[in-house]
Amino acid sequence: MTRTAAVVGGGHTRWGKREATWKDLAQEAGKEAFDDVPGVGPSDIEGLFVGAVQPERFAFQSHVAPLVAELLGIDVDSMIARTELACASGQAALRYAWLAIAAGQLDTALVIGVEKMNLPDDHTEEMQSSMMNVVDREFDGVNGLNAPSYFSLIAQRHMHEYGTTKEQLAAVSAKNKTHAASNPYAQFQKEIDVDDVLESYPVAPPLNLFDCSGITDGAAALVLVSEEKARELTDTAAYITGSGQSCMASNSINNLPSLSAWPQATVAAEQAYEQAGIEDPVEALDVAEIHDCFSISEIVEYEDLGWVEKGEGGRFVEDGRSALDGDIAVNPRGGLLGCGHPLGATGISQALEIYRQFAGDVPDARQVPDGPETGLIHNLSGSASVHSVMTLARDPQ
């Protein structure tokens, strides 16, 4: 049995450095999700899927899926799970809920991602050390690799091979942070330009401070239902039309197939496109939320998601093709660079943005023109060893 599943609403906390606890964030997002979807309450949830990367390290709490059920008053009678896939944990939770509904195991699920990353008393060193658990800690971690240094290697190699410029990197950040300025949930809400990025503090050359996403507390939630139930609940939904995922046995950076390309992203995208019946993604997609943890990431993803030829990603943003009125509106919520990146919540926030773009329920300053009908979300995780892609549409196939 194969059925279509749809996002019919969701909830979002304010992202940033929050005084709120992990529990507080889960309750905020869950309550807003139920408030957003009339006709669905805690008693209607059959399956609960929680994306959370390191609550054990950040919040000193394990076994968090039953904890969320208790906090939100949900008696789960069919399926409950926590997903952990580093920065793709949220999309993994969404993917599993989609598969459960497609298989006929559930009709209604709550998907929620929560991360509390800012530790008490500003223990930045402990937080950064914990972040390195997502790569091969015994090899990469002890040799000083962290996220900025890894992505600086990607940027340096891409610039060497293809002539990508710092100005093109900066254009990604300026675009996304400016979008975030009108997002009430975003961590960073200030319009900036390319010069602001270029003049920000150097972190890991060629990456400056504004080329890097933040350390973020936050949560987001989605209500996912079967197509039949979606039609009962709303005239506006985001139907999942395809999903792909790929890992190329490369948790350590010494085993990565490339430092300027992510073939895993290409494989995952092709899987999703085939399921969704997409032959030309630039022609087919109206809006996309992709994983801009660093500005170079978005440029590489333009290429490896099949939107432009290899080496042309810098020109794609420079020419305005990823602007709101461009070929594909990329990261209108502000992306990771503008919104921040609470690891387990990011993929869920991305899907919620696609739903709200379809519904026209975002501020005019970042609404994609002409009523978008199709969208995509993308996450990478770890040392970009895993890539996850999902396509959505206002109408099912």
| Residues marked as catalytic | 87, 341
| CA distance to 5, 105, 174, 231, per residue, from 102 (Å) | 7, 8, 39, 16
Give the Cα separation of 307 and 317 in Å (integer): 12
Under 8 Å between Cβ of 340 and 185: no
DSSP label at residue 222:
E
Rounded Cα distance between 226 and 94, Å, is 13
Six-digit token pair at 237? 């939904």
Question: Which residues, including other chains, have CB under 8 Å from residue 355's CB and lie 6 or more apart?
Answer: 7, 8, 9, 10, 222, 236, 237, 238, 392
Q: Which amino acid is at 78?
A: S
Phi, psi of 186 (to 5 degrees): -75, 150
If we measure between CA atoms, which residue out of 95, 146, 102 comes closest to residue 268? 95
Structure tokens at 238: 């985001």
Separation between Cα atoms, residue 338 and residue 366, nearest integer Å = 13
- What is the 3-class SS of 82-123, one letter each residue? EECECECHHHHHHHHHHHHHHCCCCCEEEEEEEECCCCHHHC
Q: Are strands 238-247 and 386-393 parallel, antiparallel or unpaired?
A: antiparallel
Type of residue found at 9: G
Cα–Cα dist 69/375, whole Å: 30
CA distance 177 to 211: 10
Q: CA–CA separation, 245 vs 95, rounded Å?
A: 10
